[in-house]
Chains A and B, each alone.
Chain A
């Protein structure tokens, strides 16, 4: 059933938020912020998860959440003191809870033993005086199959309720006939067996809580034919009457085969708020009244006459099979002891109500649901992401179309100052604003990724015996959703690496005069139109000697190769490189930094490393803010149109011949101010042509790679700067070295977007250039 499934999706979304709240609260507690609000918020998070899980019958999750909640409740009411140990325990419990949520979602499995052990720990912490709980005792935990129909019977119930909700035929009681074994001759006795006399004397509290005697009588009437008698003898004179007080007593004869429990259940909500007596059989009314009068303290003098008001002693009439329609009539007996209300079962569809016309008991034959959608979500709307993706696609097309239009108009040689050209400029401006706004809809803070990291750090630190503290910065930095989804893996890997390989053991740190607790910093920031993620540690830094010797031992580089520090550091990105002496659980899973590097590059991102011995390392990841659009320079190379990402371009220039120097058999360098940069002919690198024309005839674009290396790219001509919509080559064709993606230009032609770093590296690979480690790696 769709609606329930949708709510389940909501539930898991909410779980994510609640788990984040939980962790945030616990971390605040860890930092000494132990006030009532924080503890309450933490409690509520677990409580809400439990509540929702209960609704979907996610048993293992409910059970674990319950144990967790019980401990938090004890903490909340200060039954147990807040200690760092307790907070640490709660944090670990929150991790197990998160696992349970994932398992309930069908993602992953819960470690049953760990969960049971944690539950035992939580129980022990809840009641420190109790005998230690056997660890084996707690629940068996297993992954819930995803979206297994929950035991909640909403589906069935809705069918039941769909057409005639609240119809008394369908609802309310279960019709589970009491099994009474009776002899044939005891039939008469059975009739008496089924007759009950119920006397009710409400207290004023009953009314204070908005309960109504009339509704109780209506409920009784659902069990079978009733006859109600009102004793108003305790009513004071009108001028003495306290409108808030309770004065009357009801005696009801009810004929039902549903037993005493069913009758008692009617009074569940008013338990304690009225005096109630349930007696089997036809108790003489007078006796009962006497009993109750005795119970009712100073009984005032004989009551004045009142017209008894019986509120809504009527049940929604239903023609054919509804024997329960109750005919009620009120007989006001002048000055007599008690007015009697007679209620008899009548098969007739039209009940006669003597009481002031009560509102219908129920919206019988309820029409399809009227859903009113005000409420809490007024400031937030939930939109299907596909709609936004579609919108972004369309705006992309709009950008292309606008560019085409501009180009066509340009072809007619219209002056830039003309109204048409100016109108087009405005259109371009608007198009860009629309695009930015649309992209902003899909932009999300990186928080959603960052918030998973504290747990990771805890786990990795535990596993490796390190002490690590995670410091996060810039969680609110926004980036397109498409990028966010793909940040998680590289960050996870870099953090693991920082703790496992970067941080020293507490002993080593102490020996080095450092705080035994290492600090790992995770930061996000915007820099020149890209998002930059930095992962740094204050560990020992890269041991270059060892990295070098390992690379030699593994045959990744030749032993006599002399490398700069930076080049050695970059060796760790080579496929097949692993620095750990022993393969650890954490990062030695055969997934090296080379995989991280490749996945980052596939996103149009770069990764670089800076390390200082004894002081730590910093990994810097830079990614485009969006995978949808790009500002680029459109250039001509060997008759082809290419786009070079603007973010890479430092400057463009026309070189003079004296600035170009030959280097080696075929290479050239360009003197740019005080330094030389390699001159790269894009046409040759991409195999558009065999020989490059003289660089002086073309245009040179000075570009900078992610690692800071510069190169001078030679192109034939520059067309100008343009925003282009990125169309993936991998999705539509296949990956091409040196090309990041493609786009459609204003004239409708496809242009390739240059991958500047790859072009720089391709050129480096040109033989013979053994000084570059990537060359050897590739072979």
Chain B
């Protein structure tokens, strides 16, 4: 069964990079451009794993994760956040919001797939 990954990022470049890495690894990829959009796509596609950026317009990554975690239908979906090495406090906030794990940008596809493997049943 092909697993579906939802990527939420306002940067087209980053979405394309994620898509390339994930599609190359055999995942089905669905995309959203911000947290609000992410919640819409979530209900339409029921992804197995979510990868989300933090800084986004409308609804940021923290708000998005919190919204997923309070929804009984989706709260068990693992969520990986994209973070940068430079900001451990953001990672901490994302974890408090309910992030399952994180991916440090810039990521390489191996690390990305490894992170997914670590959180996805």
Contacts and interface: CB of A to CB of B under 8 A. Distances in A.
Q: Do A and B bind each other?
A: yes
Interface of A: 3-4, 6-7, 10-11, 13-14, 40-41, 43-44, 47-48, 51-52, 54-55, 57, 66, 152-154, 157-158, 160-162, 165-166, 171-172, 208-212, 214-215, 219, 266, 268-269, 311-312, 358-363, 366-372, 374-376
Interface in B10-26: 10-17, 19-21, 23-26
Contact of A269 (B3, B10, B13, B119): B119
A376 B2 CA distance: 22
A13 B37 CA distance: 22
A554 B37 CA distance: 66
Nearest to A375: B31
Category for how many chain B residues contact A: 35 or more
Contacts of B84: 51, 54
Contacts of A369: 23-27
B117 to A, nearest CB: 6
Contact of B26 (A3, A154, A165): A165
A209 B98 CA distance: 5
Interface in B94-121: 95, 98-102, 105-110, 113-114, 117-121
Contacts of B101: 211, 268-269
Contacts of A371: 19, 23, 28-29
B9 to A, nearest CB: 9
Given A311-B121, A371-B29, A172 B114 contact: yes
A152 B19 contact: no
Contact of A210 (B44, B76, B110): B76
B30 interface: yes
A761 B45 CA distance: 68
17 contacts: A51-B14, A54-B105, A55-B13, A55-B106, A66-B86, A154-B21, A166-B25, A210-B76, A215-B119, A269-B100, A269-B102, A312-B121, A358-B121, A366-B2, A367-B2, A374-B30, A375-B31
Given A157-B108, A166-B117, A376-B37, A210 B77 contact: yes
B30 A372 contact: yes
A372 B27 CA distance: 10
Given A212-B121, A214-B121, A370 B28 contact: yes
A140 B87 CA distance: 24
Main SS class of interface, B: mixed
A666 B32 CA distance: 74
A160 B110 contact: yes
Question: What 8 A-B pairs are tightest by C-beta distance, nearest first?
Answer: A366-B26, A375-B31, A369-B23, A269-B101, A157-B109, A376-B33, A52-B13, A11-B13
A263 B16 CA distance: 33
A44 B28 contact: no
Contacts of A208: 69, 75, 98
Contacts of B23: 369-371
Given A44-B56, A152-B106, A210-B77, A52 B118 contact: no
A14 B12 contact: yes
Nearest to A273: B95
Contacts of B108: 152-154, 157
Nearest to A43: B55
A344 B120 CA distance: 23
Contacts of B76: 210
Contact of B25 (A66, A161, A376): A161
B70 to A, nearest CB: 11
A397 B76 CA distance: 59
B78 interface: yes
Given A7-B16, A157-B24, 13 more contacts: A13-B12, A14-B11, A55-B107, A66-B86, A153-B109, A161-B24, A165-B26, A166-B113, A209-B79, A214-B121, A367-B26, A369-B23, A370-B26
A51 B12 CA distance: 11
A14 B110 CA distance: 25
Given A160-B110, A161-B109, A269 B118 contact: yes
A258 to B, nearest CB: 15
A162 B65 CA distance: 31
Contact of A366 (B16, B20, B25, B69): B25
B41 interface: yes
A406 B11 CA distance: 52
Contact of A55 (B2, B17, B29, B57): B17
A311 B120 CA distance: 12
Contacts of A160: 110
B98 A210 contact: yes
Given A215-B121, A375-B32, A363 B1 contact: yes
Contact of A375 (B2, B27, B41, B107): B41
A51 B17 CA distance: 11
Most buried by B among A40, A362, A372: A372
A730 to B, nearest CB: 38
B2 to A, nearest CB: 6
Contact of B20 (A7, A214, A372): A7
Contacts of B41: 374-375
B84 to A, nearest CB: 8
Contact of A51 (B11, B31, B75, B99): B11
A376 B31 contact: yes
Nearest to A363: B26
Given A14-B11, A44-B56, A44-B57, A171 B105 contact: no
A150 to B, nearest CB: 9
A55 B3 CA distance: 25
Contacts of A54: 84, 105-106
A44 B114 contact: no
Contacts of B55: 43-44, 47-48
Contacts of A51: 11, 13-14, 84, 105-106
A657 B33 CA distance: 73
B98 A14 contact: no
- The CB with the most chain B CB atoms within 10 A, among A11, A209, A266, is that of A209
Interface in B47-89: 55-57, 69, 75-79, 84, 86
A211 B27 CA distance: 20
A403 to B, nearest CB: 43
Contact of B78 (A48, A161, A210): A210
B78 to A, nearest CB: 4
A538 B108 CA distance: 55
A265 to B, nearest CB: 9
A509 B99 CA distance: 60
B34 to A, nearest CB: 9
Nearest to B4: A372
A372 B11 CA distance: 18
A171 B121 contact: no
